[in-house]
Amino acid sequence: MQEFTNWTVKTIREDKYIGSWMEERKFDWIPIVAKTLTNIIDKGKSVLIVTDDDRDWFLHYIFSKINSPKNNRPLLPFYDFKSMIQHTHKLTSDDDMELIKDMLEISFPNGYIFWYIGRSQSGKAILPKVSYNSFLWLFDEDAQNSFNLKSNDETLDMKLLQLYRLFDKTLEATLFSQIEVDK
């Protein structure tokens, strides 16, 4: 079993589809991915994916890949939060947030985490940003415990695809005990 940081660096260097820019950001990436995978694999939490409106295409991409039969692995608990709550951008009051949290606690007894991808200022970011253990890929905000990107980066879409590729490879390596992320 390989050590997680070394495995990540090796994967970034050897995978021609993952940009070298990720090696510079490995220490931003590794802790949040380790926490997320521990929550999914060790604690059995479900993942509720939320994107801002401009990243709807990426949400569809994730769902076309994450549980694809081509992966030859168990199905994993990833869900489209928008399909549960149609008006996520209108959830602004504390009462709205508490009602949603109550529903999610009933629906996911092992717990849940949000995976948010998008602009920090989006109304859809409110609930993921205030929820504990969220996996945040935030644009235009340097927030602690998140992976931060710039929305005006002309290579942003490519970077998102590369990040997903690295995340999926890490998920699979963790699932099949090739690496241990909590060490």
pLDDT given at position 99: 86
What CATH number matches the domain at 2-175, 3.40.830.10, 3.40.50.300, 3.10.450.50, 3.40.50.11670?
A: 3.40.50.11670
pLDDT given at position 42: 92
pLDDT given at position 88: 54
Distance (Å, rounded) from C-alpha 100 to C-alpha 85?
Answer: 8
pLDDT in tens, the chain (183 residues): 679 999 999 999 999 999 999 999 999 999 999 999 999 999 999 999 999 999 999 999 999 999 999 999 999 999 999 888 766 556 667 787 888 889 999 999 999 999 999 999 988 898 899 898 999 999 999 888 899 999 999 999 999 999 999 999 999 999 999 998 875
Judging by DSSP bridges, how do beta strands 46-51 and 78-80 pair with one another?
Answer: parallel
pLDDT given at position 8: 96
Q: Please provide the size of the chain in residues.
A: 183
Cα radius of gyration rounded to whole Å, the chain:
16
* Domain extents in the chain: 2-175
- Strand segments, DSSP code E, in 36-128 are 46-51, 78-80, 112-119
First-last CA distance in the chain: 11
pLDDT given at position 180: 86
The neighbouring-strand residues paired with 2 are: 179
Q: Residue 19: left if φ>0, alpha if ψ -120 to 50, beta else—which one? A: beta
